[in-house]
């Protein structure tokens, strides 16, 4: 009896469980199976394996109780549970809530899922609006409270500087606009303790006034626009672009006659390599340019051997045999001749005469401040080759002025006493007499003379006698840069000496075509 009752009880229990399972299968809707799984109603749904890629935060005890209550209600009544977005659970660690937020905000307020649809198994949740709050990663700067005006142009910048420290009456700095306008009213400027260096023109002009800065009123120099001319402060160009600039440039770049006379006197005083004390001049009789009669049977010059030992003259002598006199014969500069040119340039660039000249030209904006570029300037001016006819590269400023050329059967150039004395000693030059001469005290002579070279007559010629090569190059360069093609009135030993220079333009470059003294 007991075994029958037990078997009946077990069979009844099995049938009851089967009925319950069938009832559950009938009551569950496959369209919302994923949602019931998210609410806790199904523990073994196959889609649960996919959600493992999105781990969720451990819910609080309050949330678990509410989830269980909701789960029970949903199973009994058949209502659709409100799912939580799986992606929301995944990104929540990037936006943790503070303790204050946990106290004041419930989980239902933090997450607002979209209503479930029964058209498919997939539900697209709506992300929380707080997900867009990424501003803490990019903090914004607090705008300055003292100036709420928008900026963006130069006028606003000027106004900003004008109003800066407006309430500080003790020591207000000059405003940006007042600096532009050159005004110093209402400003206090600390005077500079560095004295202003006197300019070259004020020194040579004999000014004795001390140039010291005014402690209360700053001096604002006007800005001169660069119009393509040589102005102070700009980097001057090499002689390839030098043109006749005697009437160009601002007042500070134009060398006045008084400045030229002052610097020429200074250059003569600084001529330490002067050889006049070693030269004897035999003028003999005066002649004219129209007669070929020899009024001077004896040589013009007698030079002591000490003159050839002067440093710059030593470097000058090897250059005299480097040239073809005929302008229709090309010049080929050998490496040895280039070495001799460089040695001569190095020798004269270290003299006080050339350095004094370059300082003056630099102040006038005619040469660069770099000594190496000044050397390049001078070398191109004198040793650059050009053609005097028929495309023959056969001439240079140095060859024409300091040596001699033969052009169209006539003697051209030859304005140097060293070369003249060497040619005279070799019986290649015959001095016929003088036309005029001017003594430069113990520094030498300027002479106008008549001679012939190798049977070719030159009725009028002029040259310095006894002066150093660097002094002659300095005087000719000074006049070429400041008075090219015009009279260059100088003072030498208180004597008036005029120098005339000519430009020779070849292939867009400017060279010295000729330079000689006039008396």
Tens of pLDDT along 160-214?
555 544 444 444 545 544 544 554 444 444 444 444 445 544 544 444 444 444 4
Q: Could you tell me if residue 210 is inside a domain?
A: no
pLDDT exceeding 70 applies to what percent of the chain? 55
Catalytic residue among 443, 448, 450, 458: 458
Query: What pLDDT score does 19 carry?
Result: 65
Q: Is there a catalytic annotation at residue 278?
A: no
**Catalytic: 100?**
no
Residues 127 and 251 in one domain: no
pLDDT digits (tens, 9 = 90+) for 343-402: 999 999 999 999 999 999 999 999 999 999 999 999 999 999 999 988 899 999 999 999
| Straight-line distance from the first to the last Cα atom of the chain, in angstroms, rounded to the nearest whole number | 164
Flag whether 381 is in a domain: yes
Domain assignment present for residue 2? The answer is no
87 is catalytic: no
Position 10 confidence tier, pLDDT thresholds 50, 70, 90: confident
Residue 100, pLDDT above cutoff 90: no
Say whether both 117 and 253 belong to one domain: no
Angle between helices 352-363 and 257-269 (to 10 degrees): 160
Distance from C-alpha of 229 to C-alpha of 19, rounded to nearest angstrom: 111
pLDDT at 127 over 50: no
pLDDT score recorded for residue 22: 56
Tell me the H-state helices in 45-98: 48-51, 61-77, 86-91
440: pLDDT strictly greater than 60:
yes
Alpha-carbon distance of 61 to 204, in angstroms, equals 101
Say how far apart CA 518 and CA 486 lie, in whole Å. 12
How does DSSP assign 408-453, residue by residue?
Answer: TTEEE---BHHHHHHHHHTTSEEEEEEEEEEE-GGG-EEEEEEEEE
Determine the pLDDT at residue 492: 97
pLDDT reading at 139 higher than 60: no
Residues 6 or more apart whose Cβ sits within 8 Å of residue 505: 511
Same domain, 124 and 255: no
The residue annotated as part of the active site, out of 415, 443, 448, 450, is 415
Last-in-domain residue among 131, 151, 167: 131
pLDDT in tens, 319-352: 999 999 999 999 999 999 999 999 999 999 999 9
Q: Catalytic residue, from 400, 422, 448, 450: name it.
A: 400
Give the model's pLDDT for residue 141: 53
The pLDDT of residue 363:
94
183 domain-assigned: no
The domain boundary, picked from 114, 131, 148, lies at 131
CA distances from 177 to 159, 161, 184, 185 (A): 8, 8, 11, 12
pLDDT in tens, 287-318: 999 999 999 999 999 999 999 999 999 999 99
Nearest to 404 by CA among 451, 440, 352: 451
- Residue 313 placed within a domain: yes
Q: What angle do CA 58, 62, 66 make, to 5 degrees?
A: 100
Of 131, 166, 181, which one is at a domain's C-terminal end? 131
Q: How confident is the model at residue 493 (pLDDT cuts 50, 70, 90)?
A: very high
- List all residues 6 or more positions away from 426 whose beta carbon is below 8 Å from its beta carbon: none
Domain around 63:
28-131
Give the pTM.
0.56
Domain annotation covers residue 227:
no
Domain count along the chain: 2
Residue 139 falls within a domain, yes or no? no
Q: Are residues 117 and 266 in the same domain?
A: no
Contact of 415 with 423, CB cutoff 8 Å = no
């Amino acid at each position: 009896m007991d075994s029958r009752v037990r078997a009946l009880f077990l069979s009844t229990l099995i049938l009851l469980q089967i009925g319950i399972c069938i009832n559950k299968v009938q009551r569950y809707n496959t369209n919302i199976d994923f949602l019931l799984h998210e609410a806790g109603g199904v523990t073994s749904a196959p889609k649960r394996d996919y959600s493992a890629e999105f781990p969720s935060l451990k819910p609080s005890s309050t949330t678990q109780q509410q989830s269980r209550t909701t789960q029970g209600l949903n199973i009994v009544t058949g209502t659709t549970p409100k799912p939580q977005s799986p992606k929301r659970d995944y990104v929540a660690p990037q936006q943790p809530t503070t303790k204050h937020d946990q106290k004041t905000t419930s989980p239902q307020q933090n997450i607002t899922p979209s209503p479930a649809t029964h058209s498919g198994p997939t539900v697209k949740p709506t992300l929380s609006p707080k997900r867009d709050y990424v501003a803490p990663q990019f903090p914004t700067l607090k705008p300055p409270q003292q100036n709420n005006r928008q900026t963006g142009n130069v006028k606003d910048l000027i106004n900003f500087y004008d109003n800066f420290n407006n309430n500080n009456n003790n020591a207000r700095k000059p405003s940006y606009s007042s600096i532009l306008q050159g005004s110093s009213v209402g400003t206090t400027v600390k005077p500079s303790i560095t004295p202003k260096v006197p300019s070259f023109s004020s020194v040579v002009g004999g000014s004795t006034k001390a140039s010291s800065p005014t402690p209360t009123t700053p001096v604002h120099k006007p800005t001169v626009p660069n119009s393509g001319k040589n102005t102070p402060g700009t980097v001057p160009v090499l002689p390839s672009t030098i043109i006749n600039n005697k009437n160009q440039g601002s007042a500070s770049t134009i060398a006045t006659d008084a400045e030229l006379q002052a610097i020429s006197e200074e250059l003569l005083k600084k001529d330490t390599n002067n050889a006049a004390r070693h030269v004897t001049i035999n003028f003999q009789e005066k002649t004219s340019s129209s007669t070929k009669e020899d009024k001077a049977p004896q040589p013009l010059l007698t030079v002591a051997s000490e003159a050839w030992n002067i440093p710059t003259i030593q470097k000058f002598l090897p250059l005299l045999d480097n040239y073809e006199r005929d302008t229709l014969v090309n010049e080929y500069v050998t490496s040895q001749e280039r070495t001799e040119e460089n040695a001569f340039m190095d020798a004269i660039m270290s003299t006080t005469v050339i350095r004094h000249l370059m300082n003056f030209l630099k102040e006038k904006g005619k040469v660069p401040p770099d000594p190496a570029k000044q050397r390049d300037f001078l070398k191109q001016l004198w040793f650059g080759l050009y053609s005097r006819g028929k495309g023959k590269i056969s001439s240079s400023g140095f060859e024409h002025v300091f040596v001699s050329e033969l052009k169209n059967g006539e003697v051209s150039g030859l304005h140097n006493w060293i070369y003249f004395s060497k040619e005279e000693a070799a019986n290649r030059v015959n001095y016929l007499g003088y036309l005029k001469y001017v003594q430069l005290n113990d520094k030498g002579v300027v002479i106008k003379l008549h001679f012939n070279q190798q049977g070719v007559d030159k009725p009028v010629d002029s040259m310095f006698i006894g002066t150093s090569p660097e002094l002659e190059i300095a005087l000719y360069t000074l006049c070429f840069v400041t008075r090219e093609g015009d009279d260059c009135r100088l003072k030498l030993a208180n004597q008036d000496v005029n120098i005339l220079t000519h430009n020779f333009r070849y292939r867009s470059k400017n060279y010295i075509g000729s330079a000689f003294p006039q008396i």
